[in-house]
Amino acid sequence: MNKKTDTLQIIEGIYDIQPLTEPALSLLEKILLLSLLALFISLTVYFIWHILYSNKAIARRDIKELRNKFRNNKINSHDAIYQLCFITRKGLKLKNLNKHSSLPEKISSKNKQWQYFINNISTLRYQKTQKENVKINKLFSDSLFWLKIWP
């Protein structure tokens, strides 16, 4: 019988084991993999930053906080409307929030809703006394809606 095996060979009394050869990554492949990893991490950080700290995200948080203050009677309706206008204007990146503020082309089909929102917010802003809290609560929701769909 022949005592030779395919995987082990005796050379001078020592077993010679041939490990499987794995292709080593070239320098170019290592650089490419590191670049892709850096790009992935950068994009992830950018999108998280954009979701949490964009003008719209900050405005949404501020509107929710303002709504809670108004609901808990920590702020009156007159101040709530003015702050809501300021926050909404800042979140939408508009110079003014009035009837001359125009919609972007992408959402021009909602022009009637926009004019209704502007009319309501202007009416409440310049009204001396506020009797209905329902309109103010609707304006909070409308402001969040416009922040959501504004391009």
129-138 pLDDT, tens digit each: 666 667 899 9
* The pairing of beta strand 8-11 with beta strand 14-17: antiparallel
Per-residue pLDDT tens over the stretch 44-63: 999 999 899 999 999 999 99
Do residues 17 and 8 make contact, with C-beta atoms less than 8 angstroms apart? yes
Delimit the domains of the chain by residue range.
Answer: 55-149
Place of tokens 């909404």: 88
d(CA 110, CA 73): 33
pLDDT < 70: residue spans in the chain: 1-20, 129-133
Q: What is the pLDDT of residue 1?
A: 46
Q: How far is CA 147 from the centre of its chain?
A: 12
